[in-house]
Chains A and B, each alone.
Chain A
Amino acid sequence: MNEAVFAQVREHVGAVAREAAVTNGVLALLIEPASLLEVVRALKNAFGFDMFLDVTAVDWPGREPRFDVVWHFYSTKHFVRVRVKTRVAVADPTVDTLAPFYGSARFMERECHEMYGIVFRGNDDLRPILLYEGFEGYPLRKDYPKQKEQPLVPYRDAKP
């Protein structure tokens, strides 16, 4: 049954996907940022991928474009998952928001934004959600110093 759904999806989005392979029971699509909305619209409306599981990013220092942005969707109709990946450069780490399709994307995009600096075009509320106001930098990027501290409370002078 998974294979049937995956075959239909591959047939449908094959024109825009650079890669479409099944790994560990998940269909993984690699697409261009420009075709994101088209692919997600098809996944949601035509194939019943109605649950937005997560959006996150992967930092590949030294690679160009540097970031993978990764979405996971689940279909409560077919009980399968699909992973959508795209690549963005550090100079312009911008992809489209999925908030019009999935309301929960608004919060998850906030987390991805504060941790990796990915900008979601169309999401008007990218305030920090786990970090605090005034935090500088993107802590899950590989070039963020591991032990850098940005305390909110000034430290006491003498440490006993």
Chain B
Amino acid sequence: MNAQPARPAPSGAFEYLTTKKDEFVGWARKFSLFPYPFVTACCAMEFMSVSATLYDTDRFGAALPRFTPRQSDLLMVVGTVTHKQAPVLKKVYEQMCEPKWVIAFGVCATSGGFYQNYAALPGIDRIIPVDLYIPGCPPRPEMVIDGIMKLQDKIARERHPIITDRF
């Protein structure tokens, strides 16, 4: 008797999947967000809360903060941005590789909030494009989680060109 190695019999089911490139790449990208937290003000407390165990953004694959913009693809602007700080934010955004998304976290990053004065930038969308706004002063963790899920939906529905005009 010569022993043959045991091989599972091909069943003919689930050996291949067919999908579209954009759906597949979008599915991969939406679960591998690497956020860069640009944290300037009191919303940071809520950001810590939503990142920590109780609310746990790790569930969405959006937990591991990269503290260099060059390794991240999600810019979370958390808190008030002043005119003096605007060049820094612009430079951080420009250092990030494509593809990249931006969340305005809290009302100050969204519109300046109640800081309608000489010092504050009235919304970061004056200087960089924003994909998602999360209102609130500060936003509840549930709103942040809802925002991240909406951003994931947006990423899943997007076109994901392999070669763009910027690459």
Contact = CB atoms under 8 A, between A and B. Distances in A.
Given A151-B83, A152-B84, A152-B87, A146 B117 contact: yes
B138 to A, nearest CB: 23
A149 B125 contact: no
Q: Chain B binding site: helix, strand, loop or mixed by DSSP?
A: loop
A5 interface: no
B119 interface: yes
B126 A155 contact: yes
A159 interface: yes
A156 B129 contact: yes
A148 interface: yes
Interface in A125-160: 130-132, 139, 144, 146-153, 155-156, 159-160
Interface string B70-87: 000000000000011011
B125 A139 contact: no
Contacts, number: 45
- Give the interface centre of A130, A148, A151, A153 by most chain B CB atoms within 10 Å: A153
B114 interface: no
Interface residues of A, number: 17
Nearest to A137: B118
Interface string B47-61: 000000000000000
B126 A147 contact: no
A147 B116 contact: yes
Contacts of B125: 156, 159-160
Given A131-B84, A132-B84, A153 B127 contact: yes
A144 B118 CA distance: 9
B90 interface: yes
Contact of B118 (A139, A153, A156, A160): A139
A117 to B, nearest CB: 14
A13 to B, nearest CB: 37
16 contacts: A130-B84, A146-B116, A149-B118, A149-B122, A150-B83, A150-B118, A151-B121, A152-B84, A152-B86, A153-B87, A153-B90, A155-B126, A156-B126, A156-B128, A159-B126, A160-B129
Sort A-B residue pairs by CB-CB distance and give the 6 closest, nearest first.
Answer: A139-B118, A153-B86, A155-B126, A153-B127, A132-B84, A153-B90
Given A150-B118, A160-B125, 13 more contacts: A131-B119, A139-B119, A144-B118, A147-B116, A147-B117, A149-B83, A151-B121, A151-B126, A152-B84, A153-B90, A153-B127, A155-B127, A159-B126
